[in-house]
Amino acid sequence: MANEKLNELKDLGEFGLIDYLTQNIKIHHSSTVKGVGDDAAVINHENRQTVVSTDMLVEGVHFDMVYTPLKHLGYKAVAVNLSDIYAMNAQPRQITVSLAISSKYSTEAISDIYEGMIHAANHYGVDIVGGDTTSSLQGLVISITAIGEAKEEELVYRNGAKENDLLVVSGDLGGAYMGLTTLQREKEVWKVNPNMQPQLEGHDYILERQLKPEARKDVITFLSQLGVKPSSMIDISDGLASEIHHICKHSDVGCSLYEEKIPIDPMTHKVAREFNIDPTICALNGGEDYELLFTVSQTDYDKIKGNPHWTVIGHMTTKESGINLISSGGSVIPLTAQGWDGLNKDK
């Protein structure tokens, strides 16, 4: 590779870099009155409620540059933020993007990250309206804030689940964690023998779940088309178990989760067994699936049943009944929230 092709960030300067990175940003919404280029962006929400969420991704904690393609990283950073907005049953409209970059990154590398972000912004139809680009002493930090909107009556919080409501999850679970586990194994192999080719064939689905997850915009649309408004909703970033605990805590209810109902993709199942990990544990505690977990009234069951996009996995109970996993063997096991914890992952 021709190293001389790689521009150093310092040659471009902060303003030059921002101009370079933002030149391909398209504006999708008339509500975006002013995007990148002033002290702040301006948004006109026309009587709708504004919804705001923010997430930070840190190199070495949330991603490992050894096996993370830069465009995918940019895409994922945006998708995981939008997931929080969809989890409010709202539509994301704008994002701001802040990057702290160490000197080991070339302009081309940052440009790739930005390309992934712009790709995600176009895919989900959101406007990149601002940001900050600065240096870091070590590694890369990405901080994204997503701004969405919804009518007041559309918003779904974590605190609306009622006793007897059905617990529903979109897609399948545990795949992102098994993708990560596979990538980490190949990294260890590579560290011992850098000439070894990675054994990633046949792992496409779980690798994509880890490296390029999608936010479930489609699920919000389907629910709206069916006329179903969830009573509570959250996105699965830390793992099913942890998110169920959040809903129960905020809604002051208990939950019965049925192990045999938890949707797990065959590839996730197979790879988990290869690693000698219980697939259910992957689904409960793996995290980073970015599926939507929601509760609906039993009266909505006819509308949601048999839909391939989601699975009923349990029901809400009284708070006193506790939060329990009903195992495939019929045992009732208190469900602990061992969600993926960003603060402890690097221990």
**Please, which residue, 138 or 197, has the CB nearer to its own copies?**
138
Contact 207, 68 (CB under 8 A): no
The nearest distance, CB 178 to its own copies, in angstroms, is: 23
Phi and psi angles of residue 97, each rounded to the nearest 5 degrees, phi first: -130, 120
The nearest distance, CB 260 to its own copies, in angstroms, is: 28
Place of tokens 């940019």: 74
**Please, which residue, 208 or 341, has the CB nearer to its own copies?**
341
Distance CA 115, CA 131 (A): 15
Distance CA 270, CA 276 (A): 10
The nearest distance, CB 162 to its own copies, in angstroms, is: 17
**Please, which residue, 36 or 178, has the CB nearer to its own copies?**
36
The nearest distance, CB 195 to its own copies, in angstroms, is: 28
Phi and psi angles of residue 200, each rounded to the nearest 5 degrees, phi first: -115, 0
Place of tokens 């897609």: 171
What lies within 8 Å, CB to CB, of 124 at 6+ separation is 78, 79, 82, 92, 215, 217
What lies within 8 Å, CB to CB, of 224 at 6+ separation is none
169 CB-side CA count, 13 A: 28
**Please, which residue, 49 or 68, has the CB nearer to its own copies?**
49
**Please, which residue, 139 or 198, has the CB nearer to its own copies?**
139
The nearest distance, CB 56 to its own copies, in angstroms, is: 4
